Amino acid sequence: MKRRRPLVIMGLAGLVLLPLVGAVKFLHHTEGDLNAVLHDPRYKNDRVEKLIVMLDGVPYETIERLRRGGGFRIFKRPSRVIAPFPSMTNVSAAQIWQAELPDGYESLYFDRANNALIGGANTYLRKRACQAGDYHRMLDYVEPRAFEFAIYGFPSRVNRADLRRFFLAYARSEKPIFRAFLKSTDGLTHIRGESELERALVELDALLSHMYQDRGGRLEIIVFSDHGNQFTRCRRVDLVDHLRRRGFEVRDRLEGEKAVVIPDFGLVGYAALYTMPASRRRVAEVVAEMDVAIVAYAHGPDVFVLGGGGVARISYDQQRNSYRYEAVRGDPLDLAKRIDQIKREGKMADDGHVADQVWFEALASHRYPDALFRLHQGINGLVKNRADVLVSFKDGFVQGSRLFQAYDRLVPVRAIHGGLAAAQSEGFFMSTAKEAPPYLRARQVRNYF
């Protein structure tokens, strides 16, 4: 017993010291005053000619409201950036930077080759490992990965540290083009809501204006976001319980015709379901019984859409780069008026197909922006491990893990994204040098760098 005592003492000491060391490191990495370095001549930079800054989860409407109040005056008129569906950072950032497809829609994903769930919360506790085509490799600054997790406990501290570290990285840069991603804005938005996001954006505006004026207006600055955020309190939908009551087996692997895999992470406005091919349609129909706005699934080359008791089919002609929307029953996407207008303008082919650009112009301002392209792309592209069924929930409802649901009870989540509707989907783009068109797809943003 006496021999074990030193081991017990060492073990207890480790339990105390490890969190303490972690806390000390966290405080060290998040300390410091931005203003102290901002006016320090040692941190002037006359080498960078173009500054490109991506923000995580900043809605177009928030930026526009700040501009109406006198903010962001060094920039031209902002454009709306329509994120892919699901409106998540993994897929949107990859499209914006025209990078390699990510493995999944978010950090926890289903790996088809290994028939297993991969990733999740533990990925935030490790150093970021980037594959050759990962968009992170194109960035000159991004916050440490642990900050993405720490933001949910210390949102304001991490956000201010993010701004300071970004400025210091810019000041040290020898490159003519400096690319940065400020991820802390999304976590801050989720936890503190719109008023705190606006406070952070006012600080960012002051920082960018200082950098711009410090260079006599010769520094071109481009700022944009990857998706929107809807400011609302939400209730978690229990997909797992509903599917089990309807005879399906929700598990971590696809084994058997009734098996369904649902990566549960965070609290988001969408869900990705993986099924056996024979049960794909039935799973979609069962999910459509719940508090969902839209359910989409692949059927051969086409995408079927369920919603509001209606069914429609989206077909794509690659040779003509055109889509056809067939309302089988009802009109789940509520496109009837837009389609009538397209017909009156003589822009619909005899077989019902309409050019992609025509659809984009007609649907960019729809409550489901650019819906045909985004639903078809979401089912047939975006990630290496594509879902069989994609779901967009009604306003006020989310999907996610029970762990995050418990967290939400302690620290209310005040904003969500992931869904198909405009509030969750629309980010922004603006530049000091030039205006872009009023609406941009995520993959078009880089054309204006």
Look at residue 208 in the predicted model and tell me its pLDDT: 98
Based on its alpha-carbon atoms, the radius of gyration of the chain, rounded to whole angstroms, reads: 23
Checking if the pLDDT of 14 tops 50, the result is: no
In angstroms, rounded to a whole number, what is the distance separating the alpha carbons of residues 442 and 213?
29
Look at residue 15 in the predicted model and tell me its pLDDT: 44
SS3 content of the chain, % helix, strand, coil (to 5): 40, 25, 35
pLDDT above 90 coverage of the chain, percent? 81
Mean pLDDT, residues 50-79: 98
Q: How deeply is 17 buried, as exposed, middle or buried, from its count of CB atoms within 10 A (0-12, 13-18, 19+)?
A: exposed
H-type helices in 30-154, by residue range? Answer: 34-38, 60-68, 89-96, 145-150
pLDDT tens-digit map of 31-57 = 667 887 878 888 889 999 999 999 999
* Residue ranges of domains in the chain, CATH in brackets: 34-99+134-230+418-448 (3.40.720.10), 235-413 (no CATH)
Residue 341 confidence class, pLDDT cut points 50, 70, 90: very high
Look at residue 20 in the predicted model and tell me its pLDDT: 39
In angstroms, rounded to a whole number, what is the distance separating the alpha carbons of residues 418 and 378?
12
* SS3 assignment, position 246: coil
Look at residue 29 in the predicted model and tell me its pLDDT: 58
Q: Which long-range contacts (CB under 8 A, 24 or more apart) does 329-333 make?
A: 332/294, 332/305, 332/306, 332/307, 332/308, 333/294, 333/305, 333/307, 333/368, 333/371, 333/372
Among 292, 365, 370, smallest CA distance to 325 is for: 370
Checking if the pLDDT of 27 tops 80, the result is: no
403: amino acid identity, one letter: L
Mean pLDDT, residues 279-305: 97
In angstroms, rounded to a whole number, what is the distance separating the alpha carbons of residues 438 and 154?
35
Q: How high does pLDDT run on average in the chain?
A: 91
pLDDT tens-digit map of 124-156 = 555 555 676 899 999 999 998 888 889 989 999
Q: What are phi and psi of 396, to 5 degrees?
A: 95, 0
Locate 292 and state its tokens.
Answer: 């969902």
Look at residue 402 in the predicted model and tell me its pLDDT: 81
User: Checking phi first, is residue 309 left (phi over 0); if not, alpha (psi -120 to 50) or beta?
Assistant: left
**Residue found by looking up tokens 């173009």 in the block:** 50
Locate 230 and state its tokens.
Answer: 């809807």
Look at residue 30 in the predicted model and tell me its pLDDT: 63
pLDDT tens-digit map of 232-263 = 999 999 999 999 999 999 999 999 999 999 99
Residue 408 confidence class, pLDDT cut points 50, 70, 90: confident
In angstroms, rounded to a whole number, what is the distance separating the alpha carbons of residues 11 and 323?
63
Look at residue 9 in the predicted model and tell me its pLDDT: 46
